[in-house]
Structure 1
Amino acid sequence: MPTKEALVRRTIIEDRLCDRCHATYEAPLHALWLCKELDTVWERSAHCQARRETNFLNFKELLSWILTQTSEVELFAMIAWGIWNQHRAYGLSLN
């Protein structure tokens, strides 16, 4: 996933801070789940409680949990896709 953290690692860009919150590095888990700017998106979903109460080390761990612990896999996928699609569109508009 071409998050800023991955792009910095590949020496494509230098700034790895999240463009939404400017508070932490933009890794996949942050970009799609942890960023405080996404609170209004996730608080309306069935995953709201898990977002507040469960700590995941990375996106793979989150996805594994979603696949095994919830029946709302499709909803999660659509929300995550929408977040990433909007994120990419915003990033492209900055260039």
Structure 2
Amino acid sequence: MEGARSDTGSSSDDRKLRGFWRSVWMISVPHKVLHFAWRVCRDILPTKEKLMRRKVLQEDWCEECKAESETTVHLFWRFPRAQEVWQHIKLLFSFDPCTISSFLDLMWNLMVLSEYVEEKVAMVVTVAWAIWVNRNEFRNGKRKKTGRDIV
């Protein structure tokens, strides 16, 4: 959320940040998806990178691709299956998703810096939640779904 971080000094920007969080909680998706959106924006999902940092795990490599650490950016954007998922829903962004450094940056771009389209935001949050759910199912022995199945 580069734009928000650099502006957090004034009271008007605090209102913008409060408005952002209020808008997050008002997205028309099930409560469990809203809670997920809040957690991923706060960067507190228990990814392998986070669990290793807390000394719960010994390694943080992505279990599927083994190419890089399992961070939220990797899991939701860089991971090949995540890219397949986003290609299937064909959302157009007014920014380059490859430049996103966190989920909060993505949401800030969608909700503050771009024209806010609630259906698009709801779709992004719901699809990210579906990716997270399938990641957890796969880690617990269930089959990994294709990008098309996740969508």
TM class by shorter-chain length?
Answer: 0.7 to 0.9
Q: Give the TM-score normalised by the residue count of structure 2.
A: 0.54
Alignment-derived partner of residue 74 in structure 1 = 122
Q: Could you say which residue in structure 2 is the equivalent of 1:89? A: 137
Deviation at 1:21, TM superposition (A): 1.4
User: What residue number does 2:28 align with?
Assistant: none
Segments of structure 1 that go 5 or more residues without pairing to the other structure are: none
What fraction of aligned residue pairs are identical, expressed as a percent?
23
CA distance in 1, matches of 2:92, 2:86: 6
Q: Which is further off, 61-70 or 83-92?
A: 61-70
RMSD: 2.3
Which of the pair has more CA radius of gyration? 2
CA distances 1:36-70 after superposition (whole Å, capped 9, x unpaired):
22222100224366686541122221221122325
Out of 86, 94, 101, which is 1:57 matched to? 101
Using a 3 Å threshold, how does the CA distance of structure 1 residues 88 and 54 change in structure 2: closer, same or farther?
Answer: same
Structure 2: how far apart are the matches of 1:30 and 1:78?
17
Count of aligned pairs between the two proteins: 94
